[in-house]
């Protein structure tokens, strides 16, 4: 069995045996580390993505993980017409869910451009890929998540900062931050618990392969450990809807919003 790494800022790692967690965007750079930790901690993880080959790579990369969990993969398109039906199908097969992690983002095809240089089509694509998709995922998956469970959106620091050359991405990040906080307030104690976690720079496999790395950046496994604590309701931040996980040394900290 793989030893569970203990991070400096966390308490005892929870046992997620019997828990089912969906990681939407699980084949992405951040999602892979989250999946790895949740499987190690014993959860059944349903990792979704739009690309079969990337999902196959995820399975290969996670194949050596120990623990009592298991990984299954499913193709899912947040922009697809049948998203609500797909969420219901996944819930019938694996659920109801103890956790749903939304880790999706699109940089678009336009590259970095000043805000006022974006065409209407480029703007619309960025909003669809980064805002509308998150809204649709919340709407599709909240009904299939246990009242005691969580739905959590991972976001970036562009939600709070000016982002020259990435206006559509930054606006979408700020808007999904507001959306997530609003859904958390609307659901209140009726559940599931809804979280917005704003992340700093993450050490993804793609960045390391490109020679871009910094040991001070977050690891996806650290993000996964924090999520595990929220799923198990053992985290000291369990009652905080808005959270920041920006610096490796300090770990997750509370924002300004409580349930």
Is position 194 within any domain? yes
Average pLDDT estimate for 79-99: 95
At residue 58, the pLDDT reads 93
Tallying the residues shown for the chain, one arrives at 259
At residue 4, the pLDDT reads 53
> What residues contact residue 117 under an 8 Å CB cut-off, 6+ apart?
none
CA distance 145 to 207: 33
At residue 210, the pLDDT reads 67
Is position 32 within any domain? yes
Whether 178 and 134 have beta carbons less than 8 Å apart is answered as no
Q: How many domains does the chain have?
A: 1
pLDDT at 15 over 80: yes
- pLDDT tier for residue 66 given thresholds of 50, 70 and 90: low
Is position 12 within any domain? no
Buried b (16+ CB within 10 A) or exposed e, 11-45: eebbbbeebbbbbbbbbbbbbbbbbbbbbbbbbbb
pLDDT at 131 over 90: yes
At residue 255, the pLDDT reads 87
List, in sequence order, the alpha helices (H) in 50-193.
Answer: 52-62, 83-94, 120-127, 133-141, 167-187
Is position 206 within any domain? yes
CATH of the domain at 96: 3.40.50.720
β partners of residue 197: 154, 243
Average pLDDT estimate for 87-103: 96
pLDDT more than 90, % of the chain: 73
> What residues contact residue 165 under an 8 Å CB cut-off, 6+ apart?
112, 113, 114
pLDDT at 207 over 80: no
Pairing of strands 70-75, 97-102: unpaired
- pLDDT tier for residue 244 given thresholds of 50, 70 and 90: very high
Average pLDDT estimate for 187-205: 88
Average pLDDT estimate for 4-26: 80
Is position 201 within any domain? yes
Q: What integer best gives the mean pLDDT of the chain?
A: 89
Is position 3 within any domain? no
Is position 90 within any domain? yes
- pLDDT tier for residue 258 given thresholds of 50, 70 and 90: very low
pLDDT at 196 over 60: yes
Is position 106 within any domain? yes
Residue 160, domain extent: 20-254
């Amino acid at each position: 069995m793989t030893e569970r790494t203990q991070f400096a800022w966390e308490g005892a790692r929870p046992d997620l045996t019997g828990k089912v967690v969906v990681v939407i965007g699980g084949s992405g750079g951040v999602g892979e580390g989250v999946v790895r930790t949740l499987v190690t901690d014993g959860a059944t993880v349903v990792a979704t993505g739009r690309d079969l080959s990337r999902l196959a790579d995820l399975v290969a990369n996670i194949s050596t993980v120990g623990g009592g969990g298991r990984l299954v993969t499913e193709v899912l398109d947040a922009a697809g017409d049948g998203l609500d039906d797909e969420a219901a199908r996944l819930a019938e097969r694996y659920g109801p869910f103890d956790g749903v992690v939304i880790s999706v983002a699109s940089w678009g095809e336009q590259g970095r451009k000043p805000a006022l240089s974006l065409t209407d089509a480029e703007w619309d694509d960025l909003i669809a890929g980064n805002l509308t998709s998150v809204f649709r995922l919340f709407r599709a998956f909240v009904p299939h998540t246990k009242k005691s469970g969580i739905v959590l959106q991972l976001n970036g620091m562009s939600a709070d900062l000016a982002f020259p050359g990435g206006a559509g991405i930054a606006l979408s990040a700020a808007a999904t931050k507001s959306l997530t906080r609003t859904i958390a307030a609307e659901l209140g104690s009726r559940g599931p618990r809804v979280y917005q976690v704003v992340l700093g720079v993450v050490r993804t496999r793609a960045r390391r392969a490109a020679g871009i790395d910094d040991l001070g950046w977050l690891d996806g496994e650290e993000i996964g450990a924090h999520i595990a604590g929220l799923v198990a309701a053992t985290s000291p931040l369990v009652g905080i809807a808005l959270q920041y996980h920006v610096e490796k040394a300090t770990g997750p900290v509370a924002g300004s919003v409580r349930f």
